[in-house]
Structure 1
Amino acid sequence: MTGWRAWAPDVAVGSVVLLVGLLEVVDLRNPEWYVDDPRPALTLLVLGIASAAALARQLPAVALALVWAIGAMQVITGTQLLMVELAIAVVAFGTARWGSTATVLVSALSIPVAATITVLWIDPGVFYSALSTAGFESLVDRTARWSDRWQVTAAVLGMSVLGVPWLAGLAVRFSTRAQQSHASQVVAEAERDQAEEIARLREEQARLARDVHDVVGHSLAVILAQAESAQYLPDADAQALKRTMDNIATTARSSLDDIRQVLASTGGSAGPRPSSTDLDSLVEGVRASGHEVQSTEFGTPQPLPPELGAVAFRVLQEMLTNALKHGRRGEPVRVERHWEGELRIEVQNVVEPGTDETQPLTTARPGGAQAGGGQGLEGMRRRLESVGGRLDVRRRPDPPTFTATAWLPVRSR
């Protein structure tokens, strides 16, 4: 709400107070006013009270100041008390509910101070008579003296009534703040849950990208190696060519099955994860492509939990992919698996001089063309770190070899 609509409830309250006050002040049976008639001053008093009531919500500090100004004017001019002044309770509520901290404190002090001033203004001797210890009046006489002053009693009760709406305004103030705090907490929790869900989805997206990268990169490397080896087969050896094409089809089919499994895992219906026994299938797949692989296993193999088996499979898959892409043709790829409290996988291959295998998916092609452009080593490192493992890559100049070593805990964290 903006403009006059925001002030509509306040104007309505002020109008009601003004109407009630005018009905109290104006004698409808004798509407003529005389010079010594007190009603003009009373009318001004009513206007001030109505204005203060209208300002209580939007400008509580101004409303409080206006009440004090009206009170001071009433004391100075000796204007009589009116019942409509009970509308000051609206100001008391407004200052406690919508006022600033300073306004709340000033309004709290204003209630007893105003009550004291009002009583002293009506009868300055009332406190003297109540506190007198001279013994000239008995307790009964002093009680009668107090009860006779109905104006004092009415003033004290009127000021006391202001405390009730003031406390009500303060209670509503704290209740509203508590509700706002709770709402803010709910919003913060919702935002945190949303951020966690976004982070989870991004991590799932990154995991899916790494899996697809590993599967496609490995299968394409094997298929490429098989296709290139077919170029060196004798033209008359149709059986060898047929075996090569069959290996290519088998590799492509296996890759397609892996891709389907990876995509199914994003929907929560993942198939069986790779295990430690599947590592041998990776080695055999590279051998089938025509590359020599020297595989050695030390220690006693142990069953790996599903999450560790999947990481070991993907890491060895990426290592062999890099070896196929960058390794020198005709040189063997050495694969070692050590079971010594933890699983250590090491893959070593001879590379051409000047080959930078730290960018494992950027492959030099004849004629200077470049293929690929991924994050193989970074993907392996993230996979290993997610299960408490680590990765080390080293290059030796003589002979130029590249060694990738991965450590995995035998048990998941």
Structure 2
Amino acid sequence: MSETGWRPWLPEGIAVLMVLAIGFTEALLSWAMSGERALALAQVAQAMVVAFAVGMARRAPGTALVGVWGLGLLHVASGAPIMLVEFALIAVFFGGARWGSPPTVVMSALSVPLAVIVAFVLHEGRIISLHLLLGGSRLAELVRQEPAALLTVALIGLLVVAAPWPAGLVLRLLDREKASRASILAAEEAAAGARRETEHAREIAQLRDQQTHLALDVHDVVGHSLAVILAQAESGQYLDDTARLKKTLATIATSARSSLQDVRQVLSSTQDRTAASGDTDRFDGLIDGVRGSGHEIVATESGTPRQLPQGAAVVAHRVFQEMLTNAIKHGRRDQPITAERHWPADGGDMLLIEVTNTSDASGGAGTGRGLDGMRRRLETVGGHLDVRRHGETFTVAAFVPVQGFSK
């Protein structure tokens, strides 16, 4: 047997060897003093049963308890005297209370008084070693003459035999409390781990959300600027007037410079601060940029302008920018773009921004990433997007809340 196989059994092995040594010594002493070989052999068998029960007290307390009951029945049936080594059976009572199943705990509790009855009543106090050492029947005679002595001896024996059982039960309860406390700690640790994982997942989601917003900002800024620059470059190649050509080139340079500045603001996360002020000026700047590209644009504004909340201002600017970009890319150059802003009257809560253009059949309606990006932006502040098409007329309407929004 390997070291890992026998080491767990080492305490039981030591206990068994001690019981056998005491039991064999007691049997030899009995044989030497009485000369009865059969009695000595019976005592050796009794010692072996006790050793077996003690050895199984921790691993199989129920089996050990069966051995105790078997030994008790042997005493009752044959009248065999009690051996001193049989006091080691209190280890079985302890093991039954400490490690046994609930039925075993109950049976071990019942075994305690029964063991005392067998030892002190049925055998009239005849413990073999004491019987021989005290001169045969003198102990029994004392018990017969003094009934109170029998009661006293029985009570003392009950206390000695019974003490290990409550001790085992107390240790059993302490083990359960310890296991319960460990289970609570494990549950708390698991909950803390779950909270950490949730926080980690939230951080990852926030990072991905930031990446999505960054991609949308870059898409809107670069897409709008490139659309304006492309329109200006296409119109410039047909210009013969040097002055007008220079003006177009200057407009291209201005658009590129503005785009570069917007990209820097996006990457440095300063666009929120700049977009929160001067909402009307920023709308007008986008409209002027479209006009400078050579596109005709009809811009109207109704109602009383208001200062938009910071998040809504950024969303309104980017959505309007993307609307104009789509109108330039997918609209006909010979048809004007219509841009309308309708501020809500008293009691209203939505700014309506509409951009309408005549769609170029070859260019499509622009229903790709731009529209999805606008929808997502508006949803973050409690707004929504409406897309309508009637024949060649394509209208995109954005509803932006003019008051703060919280999810």
- Paired residue secondary structure (2:238): coil
Please state how far the C-alpha of 1:118 moved relative to its aligned partner: 2.8
Q: 1:50 Cα deviation (Å)? A: 2.2
Q: Give 1:250's aligned amino acid.
A: T
In the alignment, the residues of structure 2 paired with residue 260 and residue 331 of structure 1 have an alpha-carbon distance, to the nearest angstrom, of 34
Is 2:17 aligned against 1:13? Answer: no
| 1:343-388 CA distance string (max 9 Å, x none) | 110000011247542524xxxxxxxxxxxxxx11111111111111
Equivalent residue number for residue 308 of structure 2: 304
In structure 1, how many angstroms separate the alpha carbons of the residues matched to 2:330 and 2:245?
A: 24
Q: 356, 371, 376: which one pairs with 2:370?
A: 376
Residue 122 of structure 1 pairs with residue 119 of structure 2: yes
Q: Corresponding residue for 1:131?
A: none
Give the counterpart of 2:246 among 242, 259, 272.
242
Other-structure match for 2:321: 317
2:98 aligned partner: 93
- Higher mean C-alpha displacement, 241-250 vs 106-115: 106-115
The match for 2:222 is 216
| Structure 2 counterpart of 1:66, from 52, 58, 63 | 63
Is the Cα contact below 8 Å between 2:291 and 2:297 reproduced in 1?
A: yes
SS at match of 1:27: helix
How much has 1:145 moved relative to structure 2? 4.6
Match of residue 283, structure 2, among 279, 282, 288 = 279
The 1:307/1:213 distance shift into structure 2, 3 A limit, reads same
Pairing partner for 1:193 from 186, 195, 199 = 199
Larger radius of gyration: 2
* 317 and 10 in structure 1: CA distance in 2 versus 1, 3 angstrom threshold: same
Residues 117-139 of structure 1, C-alpha deviation per residue, up to 9 Å, x if partnerless? 4344335689xxxxxxxxxxxxx
The offset of 1:148, in angstroms, is: 2.3
TM-score for the superposition, normalised by structure 1? 0.78
Q: Does 1:106 align with 2:103?
A: yes
Counterpart in the other structure of 2:34:
none
Name the counterpart of 2:402: 410
The answer to whether the 8 A contact 1:221-1:324 is kept is yes
Partner secondary structure for residue 398 of structure 2: strand
How many angstroms apart in 1 are the aligned matches of 2:4 and 2:324? 73
Q: Considering fraction of residues, name the structure with more helix.
A: 2
- Please name the residue that 1:42 is paired with: 47
Look up the match of 1:152.
Answer: 158
Paired with 2:300 and 2:334, the residues of 1 have a C-alpha distance of 19
Unaligned residue ranges in structure 2 (runs of 5+): 32-36, 76-81, 124-145
The 1:411–1:142 alpha-carbon spacing in structure 2 relative to 1, beyond 3 Å, is farther
Q: Any conservation in 1 of the 2:120–2:150 contact (CA below 8 Å)?
A: no
Deviation sequence 1:142-201 (CA, Å, 0-9, x none): 876532223333222233332222222222222222122222212222222222222222
2:234 is aligned to 228
Percent of matched pairs sharing the same residue:
36
1:35, distance to aligned residue in structure 2 (A): 4.8
Instruction: Return 5+ residue gaps in structure 1 as ranges.
Output: 56-62, 96-102, 127-140, 361-374
* Distance verdict in 2 for CA 1:151–1:323, change over 3 Å: same
Q: CA deviation at 1:116?
A: 4.1
Cα distance 1:243–1:21, how it changes in 2: closer, same or farther (>3 A)? farther
